[in-house]
Amino acid sequence: MKKGGAFLTTPFGVDEIFTREKWSDDQNEFFEAISDFAAEVIAPRVDDIEKLDEKLTRDLMSQMGEMGMLGMDVPEKYGGMGLDKTAAALALEAMGKSASSSLMVTATDHTGIGLLPILWYGNEEQREKYIPKMITGEWMSSFALTEPGAGSDALNGTASAKLNDEGTHYLLNGVKQFVTNGSWADIGIVFAKVDGEKLTAFILDQETTGWERGPEEHKLGIKGSSTTTYILKDCKVPIENVIGNVGQGPAVAFNCLYIGRLKLGAVTMGGAKQAMKTALDYAKERQQFAQPLTAFGMMQRKFADMVIRCYEADTITYQSTGSIDAGTEKFPEDDPKYYDHLYAVIEDHAIENSTNKIFSSEALWTNADDGLQILGGYGFSEEYPFARILRDERVNRIFEGTNEINKLIISGIALKKAILEELPIREQILELGENWMPAVEVADDHPAAQEIKAVELGRGIVLKTLNELILKHGQDFKNTQFEIEAFADMVIAQQVIFSVLRRYLQLDESHPRRDVVGSVLRVSVLRNLEVIVSNAKKIMRHILDEDDRDAKLGRLEEALSQLAYHADVIKEQELVFQLLLKRGEYPLND
């Protein structure tokens, strides 16, 4: 798969997906090396990092630079490792073992939205001047788009840029808010409007005058990371420091945010696994009623669901990075248009970037909340880690575009791909006719026959619901947020079961944990199909008149009745938990 959103139109039996089981030996070794570094070097310093220690943070960043972690997807010609998006994602997952959300925020903002604008849109002089010192950790970068009056509505900012009379510098004025790395940054990627309307990206550096930093924000979490305002007062920026072209700021900002969402998905997926292990370590030792907490069914259920959420997040992460890598592999890095090709592929995967960000950030939040509950009163104490974990992780549903903004993107891009026929959505809707179930050929004795049919039915429901929304609203669908949110939830659920099913089917029959993956698959299909069906019904009841609604929902009920999908969730959860208990950590990484 190499086309964004293809999980909406790819029928059973067509194409494999990329999964962690397809990692190369080099990728596995890289993952282990970073996991060891995170656990042995960073994790013991978490409490010190939380004291907002710039010197310590810079030292750790320098060590990450020595390992190549700050330049993973930077070409070798600039001193980077030139790795693909899968390698970058697995490294971010591995950093979950650091247990330091603060350092992760500092590092990912630096290497992502702090560096990519220069790498992707900058000229050769800018790349050669800034990137080598950024990937060693010598210079720290920041990204300043948000303003006090323009958060999610980022294009409505008022920061201005005016060319001076000599034509040598732009004078920037305005305030930027919630800037990660704000007080520590040597470089600022700052956005301002030229002539009041042309949003443009600029590089601020140590030679820039008129660039002031506000005080540190008093935050709920990630207290070991720097967050400040930038105050621009006739901030003097040479014309050589314009990134790309004047007026190209929206493309610079949004394309870098697209890949940032996918990377945040990898970060939070790794964090979800680590949160589960932290809770499990406690539960195995904590005795109540003369038994460890792991002996109690309600605790076992929580742990089993943690594993299932982690597996789902893991699967869609690498399905997405694999698709992006497949879409870019034909373009050599020495192609003058390489970055044009790269961010075109990344933009094409806007749905996946947003689904990953939403699903994994919510998986981590739920795992953190369940972990705190498992610790009981100790979970509420600052003497134990979950108070900090829960505070730190709340921001992930706000970073890189709130989850609500990302749902707007998911539905909007699905609409665009249907109308512009970038995917054969309309063709497949016509093939469905009045049916909800796409034609699927699978032997009745296939061990996953019911799951295959259920996933295909889910796909049919998503496509038909999109069709009804287009018939009702046309392009105005993008303005109907109740329906947008419900439809986006359907798309996320469909990507999860599409990917989890294919990952299971791709496993060798001799795989030692294939039976437990089957348990995960059955629970995932049951739950996510319920999400798809319930949201489809919600939308249909709202947008269809009574007769049309009754007829179409009646046919949907018939399709569901014919499928008659069910799973013994408690049995499957028990099997998943026993494997987790046996292995002592997330058990499905190998």
At 565-586, the pLDDT tens digits run 999 999 999 999 999 999 999 9
3-state SS, one letter per residue, for 326-362: HHHCCCCCCCCCHHHHHHHHHHHCHHHHHHHHHHHHH
CATH of the domain at 196: 2.40.110.10
Distance CA 174, CA 308 (A): 46
Judge whether 280 lies within some domain: no
Judge whether 537 lies within some domain: yes
pLDDT above 80 for 429: yes
Question: CA geometry: angle at 389 spanning 388 and 392, to 5°?
Answer: 80
**Contact partners, residue 173, CB within 8 Å, separation at least 6:** 159, 160, 162, 192, 232, 233, 234, 235
Q: Which of 250, 276, 301 is the last residue of a domain?
A: 250
Percentages helix, strand, coil for the chain, rounded to the nearest 5? Answer: 65, 10, 25
Provide the pairing of β-strand 160-163 with 291-292: unpaired
pLDDT over 70, % of the chain: 100
Task: State the average pLDDT over residues 526-550.
Answer: 97
Q: Token digits for 554?
A: 């009646």
Q: Give Cα separations from 393 to 70, 219, 364 (angstroms).
A: 22, 12, 7
Nearest residue to 80 (alpha-carbon basis) of 31, 133, 29, 37: 133
Q: Token digits for 531?
A: 């999400």
Which amino acid is located at 471 in the chain? L
Question: CA geometry: angle at 35 spanning 65 and 134, to 5°?
Answer: 15
Q: Token digits for 321?
A: 């990075």
Q: Which of 93, 352, 400, 572 is catalytic?
A: 400
Task: State the average pLDDT over residues 388-393.
Answer: 96
Distance CA 313, CA 385 (A): 23
Judge whether 256 lies within some domain: no
Judge whether 362 lies within some domain: no
Q: Classify 309 as helix, strand or coil.
A: helix
Distance CA 491, CA 139 (A): 40
Per-residue pLDDT tens digits for 55-90: 999 999 999 999 999 999 899 999 999 999 999 999
The residue with tokens 């400040």 is: 228
At residue 73, the pLDDT reads: 87
pLDDT above 90 for 97: yes
Split into its structural domains, the chain has a count of: 2
Q: Which of 221, 250, 279 is the last residue of a domain?
A: 250
Judge whether 564 lies within some domain: yes
Task: State the average pLDDT over residues 440-450.
Answer: 93
Answer whether 461's CB lies under 8 Å from 536's CB. yes
Q: Which of 217, 232, 250 is the last residue of a domain?
A: 250
At residue 322, the pLDDT reads: 96
Judge whether 436 lies within some domain: yes
pLDDT above 90 for 150: no
Instruction: With cut-offs at 50, 70 and 90, classify the pLDDT of residue 333.
Output: confident
Answer whether 112's CB lies under 8 Å from 142's CB. no
Judge whether 241 lies within some domain: yes
Task: State the average pLDDT over residues 361-380.
Answer: 98
Q: Side-chain half-sphere of 487: how many Cα atoms within 13 Å?
A: 31
Summary mean pLDDT of the chain: 96
Distance CA 274, CA 98 (A): 9
What are 559-565's contacts with CB under 8 Å, separation 24+? Answer: 559/435, 559/436, 559/437, 559/457, 559/460, 560/457, 560/533, 562/437, 563/437, 563/450, 563/453, 563/454, 563/457, 565/450, 565/451, 565/453, 565/454, 565/525, 565/526, 565/529
At residue 1, the pLDDT reads: 65
Domain that holds residue 444: 408-583
CATH of the domain at 483: 1.20.140.10
**Contact partners, residue 568, CB within 8 Å, separation at least 6:** none
pLDDT above 80 for 153: yes
Task: State the average pLDDT over residues 459-483.
Answer: 95
Judge whether 219 lies within some domain: yes
Q: Token digits for 510?
A: 């001799």
Q: Give Cα separations from 371 to 269, 274, 277, 554 (angstroms).
A: 15, 10, 9, 42
Provide the CA 290 distance to its chain's centre, in angstroms.
42
At residue 284, the pLDDT reads: 97
Task: State the average pLDDT over residues 308-326.
Answer: 97
400 catalytically annotated:
yes
Per-residue pLDDT tens digits for 25-59: 999 999 999 999 999 999 999 999 999 999 999 99
Answer whether 222's CB lies under 8 Å from 268's CB. no
Provide the pairing of β-strand 209-213 with 227-238: antiparallel
Nearest residue to 159 (alpha-carbon basis) of 111, 198, 193, 121: 193
Strand partners, 191: 201
Distance CA 108, CA 61 (A): 11
